[in-house]
Each structure stands twice: as C-alpha cells, then as structure tokens.
Amino acid sequence: MTKRPLVFFAHHQGRGHANRIMAIAAYIPHDRPLHILTAKPDQFDNMPRHSKITQLPDMIGAPSRSNALHEEPTPSIMHCVPLGVDEMRQHMRIIANTLGEVDPALFVIDVSAEIALLARIMSVPAISIRMHGSRNDTGHLAAYEASVGMLAPFDEAIEQEDYPAWARERTYYTGGLCTTDGPVLERELARERLGLPTDKSITLVIAGGGGSGTPYAPLTVAARAEPNALWLIAGPLHKEGHETDFGNLRELGWVDNLDEYLAAADRVVASAGDNTVHEIARFAKPFLCIPEWRYFDEQRRKAIELDRVGGAIYRETWPASIPEWKEALAATDNLDTANLAQLHEPDAARRAAEWLEAKAMEYWTAS
C-alpha cells in the first residue's frame, strides 16, 4: 500500500528551518513521499533524498492594494496577515491547493502559527515545530491547539516554565538537534589543519545568518581585553565605520568548515540560534551567549534557559568595556561544559523522523 506523503512547510527566514527539515528528512522511510513548501527552494539544494519542492511567493514586504486595506488592524489570533496583499493570497492558495491535492499523512510546519490554523480548517493533521520565546499569546496558543502535536528540537531540560502543561504533554522533545555532522576533531589536530597557533588562547565568534550581523565594535574591545589571545569571527559583521582594527582580531567571513574552527577554539561567543547552540554543545565548548533580537523574544528566552542549566553565560547586551569583557569571559571559562554537552542529542534528527512516522501510522492505519 502506498503511504501518504509528509508535507513540510519551511519558513524562509534564516537557514535553520530548511537545514532542520533536511536533517529529519534523511531518516524518513523512503517509501514515505516528501513534499516541501518553501519560498527559497535553493536552500534545499542538498536535500538528502528525493522530494517534490513547490515554491511559494515571498510575501514579506509586499504591498496592500489600497491604503484602507493596509490600515486594517491585525486580529489578535494572528500575527502577520495584512489585507489586500496579492502575494499572501497566492502563498496561502498554493499551500491550500497542495494540501488538497496531496492529502498528506501529516503537515509539518517549521514555523507559522497561521498556517497551523489553515491546516486545521482544511482538516489536515498538523505538527508544529517548536521554538523558544514569549509565545503565550492568543495566536500561538491557538496554533498549539490546532496541531495534533508539537515537535521540540531541543532537550526538555531547557523548556520554559511558562509553556502550558497541556501543550507540553503533546510535545515530543528530540533532544538537541544539530544539523551539522562529521567528526569532532581534537583541538590540536584542528589547529594544525587550519594553520592556527597552538600556544594561544582562541575565541571563536559565530555570527548567524538570520539577522543583520554581529556588531564589530564590541569585538574590538574584546581583542584589547585579551591582547595575547586570538579572536576569530565567522559570519557576517555589522560595522559602523568608527572601529579600530587589531592584529589579534581576524575576520573569517562565511566558512564551510565551521566544525574545524569549533574544535580549535577554547571558548565560543555566539547568539542563541537553534543550530548554533547545538553545534557548540556538540563540541562542549565554554559558551558566552549574547542573543540577537528575534520576534517573540525567541533567542533571549532560550539564552535564559541555557544560563539556568549552566550551559552558557547569558548577557543581554555586548560588553562595552575591558573590565566587562574580562568579567564575562572569566565566568564563561568557569562553566562546566558537561552541562551544555548533555543538551546535544546525536540521534535527534532520527528520533524526530521516527516520531513523525509513528504519528503518521497512528492516524492512517485502518482500525
């Protein structure tokens, strides 16, 4: 008997949603067809197995067709539903048509509260992938209720206290899901491969791809705070033009071998992006976490939970002086890295896939 497909929706902001779906898809049984809905199909160029990909219009910033429509207030049960936007109507029409034509076993949503409501209206069982944040608003709670289950790609130890108990009961925690695999190199071998000094302390700064870039100015202060150490920055930087460069502060830009730099580092400074956190946990490095602004306070809430369990030192803002940097770095170096390491689950993607397959079988096996 042919199995019903799984349909995935991938939010286009950042790379994490697509990478997570691809990691999970690698473990979905091959007799279960896959269908991806995304505004950025190129993010799935490395899809590990065959799947149909349908492109959605990118509706972000698209105009309404009149000022009166644009000025209509957003209903409390939704977050981003401006009226009179052609791209939004096309976006939702393609999703609705796909669900109607494909008739999926499950619709896995990473992430959108409104699309979870659409799935329920169309009588399609939806799984909402969870993220941290202040999400006890009407819209998110409605999406949780509309979903047949939630998939949390993190360890239950860093669940938020204010997440409702009834929703927690319907959530499957995979453990920390890292979308990067490969060997965890010894520090000395990694430094040898990268041509880095073996006699210096090295701090790796990771800037994520979902925001405007890490500010450069605070890092110049960090370099001054540790003049005999080497600071490496991977990812996009935001410069204001007044910064002074220092010889022990090196920009790497985007790198394809971030795992080697993680292995080579003595400590890591980064935001609280999902995959970033679990990459650092995989290498068990002392972690200074400075969250970036995200909707619903996602990164800040996650950073607070990491700090609570001793997995990272959380700072709300970048240290602005040499004494502040020294204090933050000393606290980071005193962390027990085992607390962070246990938040990474090597089999998280496989566990997610197995849970989704079990859910699909539960709903569509004749009784």
The CATH number of the domain where 298 resides is what?
3.40.50.2000
- Is 1 part of a structural domain of the chain? no
Q: Are residues 237 and 351 in the same domain?
A: no
Q: Which amino acid is at 302?
A: K
Range of the domain at 273: 187-341
- In this prediction, residue 60 has a pLDDT band, given cuts at 50, 70 and 90, of confident
- Is 277 part of a structural domain of the chain? yes
pLDDT 10s digits, 141-197: 999 999 999 999 999 999 999 999 999 999 999 999 999 888 999 999 999 999 999
Q: Are residues 95 and 195 in the same domain?
A: no
- In this prediction, residue 367 has a pLDDT band, given cuts at 50, 70 and 90, of low
Nearest in space to 221 (alpha carbons), one of 197, 200, 249, 196:
249
- Is 182 part of a structural domain of the chain? no
Q: Are residues 169 and 81 in the same domain?
A: yes
What pLDDT does residue 245 have? 87
Nearest in space to 251 (alpha carbons), one of 270, 268, 237:
237
Burial 225-242 (b: 16+ CB within 10 A, else e): bbeebbbbbbbebeeeee
Instruction: Tell me the mean pLDDT in the region 295-322.
Output: 97
Half-sphere exposure of 65 (CA within 13 A, CB side): 7
Q: Are residues 214 and 305 in the same domain?
A: yes
Q: Measured between alpha carbons, how far is 133 from 17 in angstroms, rounded to an integer?
A: 16
- Is 324 part of a structural domain of the chain? yes
- Inform me whether the pLDDT recorded for 64 exceeds 80: yes
What pLDDT does residue 210 have? 55
- In this prediction, residue 13 has a pLDDT band, given cuts at 50, 70 and 90, of confident
* Arithmetic mean of pLDDT over the chain: 95
Instruction: Tell me the mean pLDDT in the region 291-320.
Output: 97
Q: Measured between alpha carbons, how far is 341 from 283 in angstroms, rounded to an integer?
A: 7
Q: In what helix (H) or strand (E) does residue 190 lie, and over which residues does it extend?
A: helix 187-194
Q: Are residues 333 and 215 in the same domain?
A: yes
Classified as helix, coil or strand, 356 is: helix
Q: Are residues 172 and 200 in the same domain?
A: no
- Is 93 part of a structural domain of the chain? yes
pLDDT 10s digits, 215-228: 999 999 999 999 99
What pLDDT does residue 209 have? 58
Q: Are residues 87 and 227 in the same domain?
A: no
What pLDDT does residue 292 have? 94
- Inform me whether the pLDDT recorded for 121 exceeds 90: yes
What pLDDT does residue 246 have? 93
Cα 180 from chain centre: 12
- Is 134 part of a structural domain of the chain? yes
- Is 259 part of a structural domain of the chain? yes
Q: Are residues 20 and 140 in the same domain?
A: yes
Nearest in space to 290 (alpha carbons), one of 278, 302, 308:
302
- Is 237 part of a structural domain of the chain? yes
Q: What angle do CA 77, 79, 80 make, to 5 degrees?
A: 130
Q: Are residues 270 and 307 in the same domain?
A: yes
pLDDT 10s digits, 198-215: 999 999 999 865 556 789
Instruction: Tell me the mean pLDDT in the region 103-132.
Output: 97
Question: Cβ(278)–Cβ(178) under 8 Å?
Answer: yes
Indicate the number of domains in the chain.
2
Q: Are residues 219 and 350 in the same domain?
A: no
Q: Are residues 55 and 159 in the same domain?
A: yes
Between residues 59 and 297, the one the model is more confident about: 297
Q: Are residues 300 and 161 in the same domain?
A: no
